Structure 1
Amino acid sequence: MNKQDYKIHIIGAGISGLIAATVLEKHGYSPVLIEASERVGGRVKTDIINGYQLDHGFQVLLTAYPAAQKYLDYNALELQNFLPGASIFKNGKQEVIGDPLRDASLLFSTLFANIGTVADKLKILKLNTSLKKKSIDEIFSDEAQTTFSYLTDLGFSSEIINDFFTPFFSGIFLENKLETSSRMFEFVYKMFGEGNAALPKGGIEEIPKQLLHQLKNTVIKYNTSVSSISDSKILLADGQEIESDFIIIATEASNLIQNLKNQAIEWQSCDTLYFETENRTIKKPLIGLIPVKDAIINNIFYHTSLKTAINAGKELLSVTVVDNQGLTGKALIDQVQAELNELCGITSSTFIKHYSIPKSLPKLNDLHYEISPSETRLKETVYLAGDLQLNGSLNAAMIAGEKAALGVLENLQGIFK
């Protein structure tokens, strides 16, 4: 039997599924990707609306991600870099803090910002240095605690935790109590320190588009929903049955396989709202943080502070809401606009689009960086991919896709011996 004759199906054409297909192709196989929607990308998508690029949720690529460096062509993505800092809206003023060792323009604003104490700023420099020396393996093998207790143990003041760490990392972890594992905090913090936060010029969906265009021998079935999976059969929602030699599930598996029904993943949710404004209150490409206790807004960002492939001519503002406090629809939009006015001085904004994203990030307790190919094996011929195998990140999605494909290849090598 030739390599091309093996029927290898990948369920889900998100980042993890695309990487699995990439690895299988490199080893001479021709997989089939089955995707429920009309295009690849999973949670990594961009829409063009009213002449603006709207990502599905505020997402960034951390260029230091090892797996991203391995699989992506950064030059072709035309990455636009954020400045390594944040603009914090506090007491009617903007306070800019950042890493002056990486961008000298942030030195004076950071030194004189009314955010945290001098001791806090020295502790941040010390944390930067220590995490540069700490390997990723060491980070993920250390005992885990909550990010909040980790920062408290390091001696950071409640002020710097409330004004900077909580709004900044809540926007990444999508929970506002910093209950996420310290492993994830250290990993993300290290990645921020060793590279840039960036967006492709054409929006975040340029990442899965690039991975798609690199595939040459993969068949993709769009608008095809899978209802269940057994060892060698895929049952589609329309009743069609597909015979398969190997199956990689690159999406949540609990609703596809009988004995996983009680292992459903919990998810962090968020809302992202886009507005058009006449001007930018944050002039530089910095994330704006809102450290006000009962505010609904977590962070804001002007996408037009970076170069974009498409621009309708005014300014594009995204607002991330981690906890919508039960507000939906027009009530949520009105509250966000009221807070933009009151807290950020954004007096005029035209609503464009609201993305309610119930499954933004998998809510995982035991976080890992790596997984062995054999550990991705669920059944004799069924393998699991997706970031929910490791941790909620683009890097983890890539690693999990790679390892699931390598698991299939290990099985096939046994056949070919």
Structure 2
Amino acid sequence: MEKSAYKIHIIGAGVSGLIAAQILENYGYHPTIIEASSSVGGRVKSDVVKGHLLDRGFQVLLTSYPAAKKYLDYDRLELQKLLPGATIFKNGKSQTIGDPLRKISLLIPTLRSSVGSFTDKVKILKLNALLKKKKIEAIFKTEETTTLQYLKDFGFSNEIITDFFTPFFSGIFLEPHLETSSRMFEFVYKMFGEGLAVIPKKGIQAIPNQLKSNLTQTKIRLNSAVKQVKNNLVILEDGEEIKSDFTIIATEASALISNLKNQETQWKSCDTLYFECEKREINKPLIGLISDKNTLINNIFYPTSIASKAPGDKELLCVTIVKKHEITETELIAKTKEELKTFCGISDLVFLKRYQIKKALPELTNIQYALSSTETQLNSSLFLAGDQLLNASLNAAMIAGERAAMGVIKTLEDGLIADELSL
């Protein structure tokens, strides 16, 4: 049979599914992606609201991600750089700290900052040097503890943990207590140290849009929700049955496959609120951290501090909330405005949009960096992809998609045609 004749279906047009399609195309296959929503991207999407470009959740790309460097054309993405530092709001005042080795203008404010002791700043340099030398593979073989315990064991003071590490990494891990694996902390910290945090000029959705534009032999079916996946059969919510020689499930599979229902992925949630305002309290492209432990707000960012294809007429403020709460949207907006005024001196805000992201990141333990193609395989015709297989990152989504596609290719090229087994 010609390679193009095989019916290979990918469930989910997120980053992992798009990478899987690209790998299959590279080997001469013509897959079909089935996506429930109206566009590609999965959890990596953007909207235009009142002339502003809004990412669904504050998201950045770390340029040092190995898989991103492999699969993305950074020049075409017109990446806008964030400075390697942060502005910290505490007791109604703000201070800026950062990595002066990569941005010399951050040297004086960092030295003058009262955030952390001199010993803490020395330990940060020590941590930078340690993780620069430590290979990624070694990081993911190190015994796990929590990020909080890791920082304490490294000797950081409670002050710098509270003022910097907790709000900064809570915004990345989407949980307020730094319970995330120390492996993930070391990996992300290393990635920050070796590259830059960037946002495409056309918003974060430019990443999956670019991956989609690279596909020439893949059919993409949008607005097609899948109800169930069996061997050699994909059943849509509207009852349509699609025959499939091989299927890659590049989304959470537990709801689609009957014998995986007890293996449902747990998810971290967050709220992202966008406001218009007249001026910026942080003029440079820096993330703002709220260090007070009693606030609902975790971090803020002005998307208008970088170039955008849809800049709007006024300044745009993005607010991230990672703490769990039970308040209504009206109460949430009012509470957010109150805290912004009290802790950051930001007022005269006009609310634009709230993104309540219930499945923002998978909650994982025993996280890994990579897996073999055979580890993505449920049986001879079903394969899994998605960052939930490895660790919660764009890099992991790409690796999982790649490995699932290679699993299909290996099965085909070894002559192991799918069985007619039913789950």
| TM-score interval, normalised by the smaller of the two chains | over 0.9
1:297, 1:336 within 8 Å by CA — same for their partners in 2?
Answer: yes
For residues 312 and 219 of structure 1, what CA distance do their matches in structure 2 show? 35
Partner of 1:33: 33
Question: 1:111 maps to what in 2?
Answer: 111
Q: Show the counterpart of 1:247.
A: 247
Alpha-carbon shift at residue 328 of structure 1 (Å):
2.6
SS in 2 for 1:261: helix
- Partner residue in 2 for 1:131: 131
Q: In the alignment, which residue of structure 2 is the partner of 1:174?
A: 174
Equivalent residue runs for 1:270-349 within 5 Å: 270-349=270-349
Q: How far does the alpha carbon of each residue in 1:304-326 deviate from its partner, in whole angstroms, 9 at most, with x for none?
A: 00001111121110000001422
Which secondary structure does the structure 2 equivalent of 1:29 belong to? Answer: coil
User: Structure 2: any 5+ residue segments left out of the alignment?
Assistant: 418-423
> Could you tell me which amino acid in structure 2 is paired with residue 252 of structure 1?
E
Kindly state the Cα deviation for residue 185 of structure 1 after the two structures are TM-superposed: 0.1
Q: Deviations over 1:26-78 (max 9, x none)?
A: 00000000000010000000000000000000000000000000000000000
Letter in 1 for 2:298: N
Give the total of aligned pairs: 417
* Counterparts of residues 18-167 of structure 1 (less than 5 Å): 18-167=18-167
Q: Is the 8 A contact 1:271 1:324 kept in 2?
A: no
Deviations, residues 174-197 of structure 1 (Å, cap 9, x unaligned): 001000000000000000000000
Query: 1:369-384 maps to which residues of 2 (within 5 A)?
Result: 369-384=369-384
1:198 partner SS: strand
> Following TM superposition, by how much is the alpha carbon of 1:284 offset from its aligned partner in structure 2, in angstroms?
0.5
Structure 1 gap segments, 5+ residues each: none
Q: Is the 8 A contact 1:254 1:260 kept in 2?
A: yes
The letter for the 2-side match of 1:82 is: L
Equivalent-residue separation in structure 2 for 1:338 and 1:153 (angstroms): 36
Indicate the residue corresponding to 1:268 in structure 2. 268
The aligned amino acid for 2:145 is: Q
**Residue identity opposite 1:16 in structure 2:** S
The amino acid that maps onto 1:257 is: I
- Corresponding position: 1:221 with 2:221: yes
* 2:80–2:198 contact (8 Å) kept in structure 1: yes
> How far apart are the structure 2 equivalents of 1:137 and 1:341?
44
Could you list the per-position Cα deviations for residues 151-183 of structure 1 after superposition, in whole angstroms to 9, with x for gaps in the alignment?
000000000000000000000000010000000
Separation of aligned partners in 2, 1:411 and 1:149 = 43
Contact 1:254 / 1:263 at 8 angstroms: preserved in 2? Answer: yes
Deviation at 1:302, TM superposition (A): 0.2
Provide TM-score, normalisation by structure 2.
0.98
Aligned to 2:365: 365
Map 1:177-256 → 2, pairs under 5 A: 177-256=177-256
The amino acid of 2:333's aligned partner reads I
1:10 Cα deviation from its structure 2 partner:
0.1
2-structure distance, mates of 1:381, 1:293: 49
CA distance in 2, matches of 1:59, 1:6: 36
The equivalent of 1:409 in structure 2 is 409
The 2-side partners of 1:350 and 1:191 are apart by 35
Q: How far, CA to CA, are the matches of 1:401 and 1:154 in structure 2?
A: 35
Deviations 1:55-104 (A, max 9, x none): 00000000000000000000000000000000000111111010000000
Q: 1:416: how far off?
A: 8.4
- Supply the AA of the counterpart residue of 1:174: L
Deviant stretches of 4+, over 2 Å: none
TM-score (norm 1): 0.99
Matches of 1:220 and 1:101, distance apart in 2: 45
Contact 1:274/1:354 (8 A) holds in 2: yes
Structure-1 residue corresponding to 2:420: none
Q: In the alignment, is the contact (CA less than 8 A) between 1:83 and 1:286 conserved in 2?
A: yes
Opposite residue 390 of structure 1, the aligned amino acid is: L
Distance 2:184 2:247 in 1: 30
Q: Take 1:385 and 1:147, find their aligned partners in 2: how far apart are those partners?
A: 26
Pick which of 320-329 and 7-16 moved more: 320-329
1:242-297 C-alpha deviation (Å, 9 max, x unpaired): 11000000000000001000110100000000000100000100000001111000
| Other structure's SS at 1:141 match | coil
CA distance in 2, matches of 1:324, 1:77: 34
Equivalent residue number for residue 421 of structure 2: none
Distance 1:323 1:153 in 2: 25
Residues 384-406 of structure 1: CA distance to partner in whole angstroms, max 9, x if unpaired? 00000000000000000000000
Amino acid across the alignment from 1:186: E
Q: Secondary structure at the match of 2:4?
A: helix
State the one-letter code of the partner of 1:290. I
- Whole-angstrom distance in 2 between the partners of 1:405 and 1:178: 34
Partners of 2:380 and 2:416 within 8 A in 1: no
Q: Secondary structure at the match of 2:346?
A: coil
SS in 2 for 1:379: coil
Residue by residue, what CA displacement relative to the aligned partner does 1:120-178 show, whole Å, maximum 9, x if unpaired? 00000110011000000000000010000000000000000000000000000000100
Which moves more between the two structures, 154-163 or 319-328? 319-328
Partner Cα separation in structure 2 for residue 137 and residue 337 of structure 1: 43
How many Å separate the matches in 2 of 1:265 and 1:387? 11
SS of the residue corresponding to residue 185 of structure 2 reads: helix
